[in-house]
Amino acid sequence: MTRDALRAERCRSAAAHFRPRHGGLAFLLAAILMLGAATAAQGAFTLSDERKLGKEFYDNLEKHQAILHDQRAAAYLSAVGNMVLANSEKLPYDYRFSIIKSSAVNAFATPGGYVYVNRGLLTLVESESELASVLAHEIAHINARHIADSIEKSKKLNIAALAGILAGAFLGVGSDLGAAAVTFPMAAMQAMNLKYSREHEEEADRLGLGYLVSAGYDGKSALDFLKILRRYEFYSNSIPSYFLTHPGTEDRIRYLDAMLQTVYTRRGKEAIVGNLKRIQTLLILQDKDYQKNLKHFQDNLRKNPRDADDLFGLAVTQERLGQTADSIRAFHEAHSLAPSDPDILREMGGAYLKAGKSKEAVPYLQEAVRGDPENVTTLLYLAQAYEAQGRKAEAIAIFKEIERKTVDDEDVFYAMATIYGQNNRLYESHYYFGRYFKKRNRRESALHHFQAALKHAPADGSELYDIQKEIMDLKSPDGKKKEKPTTRSY
């Protein structure tokens, strides 16, 4: 048997042991590392190799919708990450910070400047500086090229076998993307020398702590976070994924403690960007387990009854559970603590609107628009409230404002289509029903509405171009247009 054939057989044998379980991102990382080992040929694993490998990993996560594209949460994570990054000796990469749709408590970095934080970890940290400590540690792994070092030391593997391993990993991604992926056996990872070594961890802690403190954050937060993970493990009877991907926790705690006692004795800030609690609340509200969310906010409020974020989360959850009266009371209590908060104003107005009280909703929604004029959901609620009061012209004017923004939300499309239809605006109604059904992957329904919209579109406007493009996209089997639409009229 040839050397390549022997390697391929070993890979197939290892692949036979894959089983779905939580913490699967550790395996995905291992698999992509093996791919890097195979593609690095016989020379050193270069910065260019790292960029390609990191992008391939990111693109696969995108393909399987494992990355959470929440604009506010992503912007917050990037702001904290870039604060730390600016105080590091970064490599010439375009660093990217992303949130993984997983409740597992984990964070990791891949070659090329890609840092990933699971939603579960983001909602577990107790301060911004703790989150910054995690990002600093991961940035340090990238800057020190620890993954590249592991790849260079590992045996080169057959690319065909690795492709099969990756297919098993990515096609095995489940509903809790990332957490329910495919796990690579830890023994095999150790055999291939792809785990971080104790020296890697120590260097990442040392460099990361320096980045953290230089950015102005409290260095003690790095130690606090590891202790939170230990407490989490004790109470949940499960090992946080972050412990598995970053071994040697007890040694790390002692090492960090020694550094804080001797080198980084000056305390820094717990928050620089700010508003972590609101980001965490919004992420928790994305969970469809409303009873679990209700218990979370109620438990928090027993400890601190005047926390506006927890009152806001409680009110939204109660509204979703149909507890309208309780929801309105909680909203008013939150509003009394934060009277100019656009999130509270928007969702309180929305609660009144859904309860059929459009008159009460309008003042809160108008105030929310003044506080955050770019929020499409607020504009949509206000337009619906106006429509409910018969203020049709004002509702249409708001829709025209929404149309000038980049919107890709099926609920917005449906609401606009409905109200345009009620106002006999047939082109707009069919067009937005088309976009709604396209977003819902109902191809035939979308095509029907776009074709109907074409009949009502202005003959000399840019609308013709937009609809023709949508129709050709839907008729093309691969989703790509086969011919150019009519020249746009400006």
Q: Secondary structure of the chain in the HEC alphabet?
A: CCHHHHHHHHHHHHHCCCEECCCCHHHHHHHHHHHHHHHCCCCCCCHHHHHHHHHHHHHHHHHCCCEECCHHHHHHHHHHHHHHHCCCCCCCCCCEEEEECCCCCCEEEECCCEEEEEHHHHCCCCCHHHHHHHHHHHHHHHHCCHHHHHHHHCCCCCHHHHHHHHHHHHHCCCCCCCCCCEECCHHHHHHCCCCCCHHHHHHHHHHHHHHHHHCCECCHHHHHHHHHHHHHHHHHCCCCHHHHHCCCHHHHHHHHHHHHHHCCCCCCECCCCCCHHHHHHHHHHCCCCHHHHHHHHHHHHHHCCCCHHHHHHHHHHHHHCCCHHHHHHHHHHHHHHCCCCHHHHHHHHHHHHHCCCHHHHHHHHHHHHHHCCCCHHHHHHHHHHHHHCCCHHHHHHHHHHHHCCCCCCHHHHHHHHHHHHHCCCHHHHHHHHHHHHHHCCCHHHHHHHHHHHHHHCCCCCCHHHHHHHHHHHHHCCCCCCCCCCCCCCC
Rounded Cα distance between 74 and 147, Å, is 25
- Would you state the pLDDT for residue 165? 38
Mean pLDDT of the chain: 80
Top pLDDT among 160 and 32 is at 32
Q: Is the pLDDT of residue 393 over 60?
A: yes
Mean pLDDT along residues 118-131? 95
- Residue where the block lists tokens 């972590």: 276
The torsion region of residue 295 among left (phi > 0), alpha (psi -120 to 50) and beta comes to alpha
Start-to-end C-alpha separation, the chain: 67
- Would you state the pLDDT for residue 160? 34
Rounded Cα distance between 138 and 87, Å, is 14
- Would you state the pLDDT for residue 10? 35
Within a 13 Å sphere around the CA of 259, how many CA atoms are in the beta-carbon half? 23
Top pLDDT among 332 and 424 is at 332
Neighbour-count burial of 231, counting CB atoms closer than 10 A to its CB (0-12 exposed, 13-18 middle, 19+ buried): exposed
Q: Is the pLDDT of residue 444 over 70?
A: yes
Rounded Cα distance between 402 and 374, Å, is 9
Which of these ranges, 127-131, 301-305, 456-460, has the smallest mean pLDDT?
456-460
Q: Is the pLDDT of residue 24 over 70?
A: no
- Would you state the pLDDT for residue 265? 84
- Would you state the pLDDT for residue 469? 85
- Taking the domain 408-490, which CATH number applies? 1.25.40
Mean pLDDT along residues 394-415? 87
Strands of the 96-100 sheet, one edge to the other: 67-68, 96-100, 114-118, 107-110
Mean pLDDT along residues 348-368? 97
The alpha carbon dihedral of 208, 118, 23, 241 has a sign of positive
- Would you state the pLDDT for residue 154? 56
Domain residue spans in the chain? 3-262, 408-490
The alpha carbon dihedral of 197, 199, 200, 206 has a sign of positive
Mean pLDDT along residues 444-467? 84
Q: Is the pLDDT of residue 3 over 70?
A: no
* Predicted confidence band of residue 44 (pLDDT cuts 50, 70, 90): low
Rounded Cα distance between 50 and 45, Å, is 7
Q: Is the pLDDT of residue 175 over 60?
A: no
Mean pLDDT along residues 436-464? 87
